[in-house]
Amino acid sequence: MNTGKVTLVSAGPGDLDLLTFKAAKAIAAADVLLIDDLVNGEITTLKAPHARVIKVGKRGGCKSTPQAFIQRLMRRYALQGKHVVRIKGGDALLFGRAGEEIADLRHAGIDVEIVNGISSGFAAAAALGVSLTHRDHCQGVIFVTAHLRDGTEPDWAALAATGMTLAIYMGASRIDSISEALGETLAPDTPAAVVQWAGTSRERRVCAPLGEIAAQAAAQQIASPAVILIGGAIGEAIVEVAARGEPLRQLSA
């Protein structure tokens, strides 16, 4: 039997309208669908009638399907000649362990195709109506995870010193320590925001100065999954809220 293939499909932040045509076609052509926990469950309505659906949830701080098991599933079905579609939330290449999966599949002689999508960081920026790279405020954006594999923290001082917009993933549970660490370099009035479930019908968001963002997020019960955005560019959202005469904490869907 001929070896099948694996397609890593980026499902985007949740809104099915944000799927690419290429992603939808890959899902419809699948023999096996491996679906991450954060993916919109309605995505299975796009599947081919014969496709087998397997949920392989992975959530920080929650019971998760082991990564090694997921990789074994992909290898097993692909080596049976099947087209395996691994559906990941956001963009597969950004904090989705795609690197480990690609290396493992290539080592097994299995072809891998990658379909890009919209990461939650961009969905969060769209929710706030801001440009992450607004040229009046910064020269770029840094995507960083607060959840490091070895348990250590990123060098927050070095990141803050860049002057770039910071898009922090998987940091909702430690927003207090993150804002405190960044506050050693950045001014307490540096604009910040937290967007939970960005790009979905459950989206909620809060905007406040860095020195207050942790307390405001807690008051609004903003929790994982969420993206933290920090930097001058985020101030554009604060300006908009002020223009509407709303308290910052009310910047929520």
Active site residues: 36, 58, 170
- How would DSSP label each residue in the chain? ----EEEEEE-BSS-GGGS-HHHHHHHHT-SEEEE-TTS-GGGGGGS-TT-EEEE----TTS----HHHHHHHHHHHHHTT-EEEEEESB-TTSSSSHHHHHHHHHHTT-EEEEE----HHHHHHHHHT--TT-TTT-S-EEEEES--TTSPPP-HHHHHHT--EEEEES-GGGHHHHHHHHTTTS-TT-EEEEEESTTSTT-EEEEEEHHHHHHHHHHTT--SSEEEEESGGGHHHHHHHHHTT--GGG---
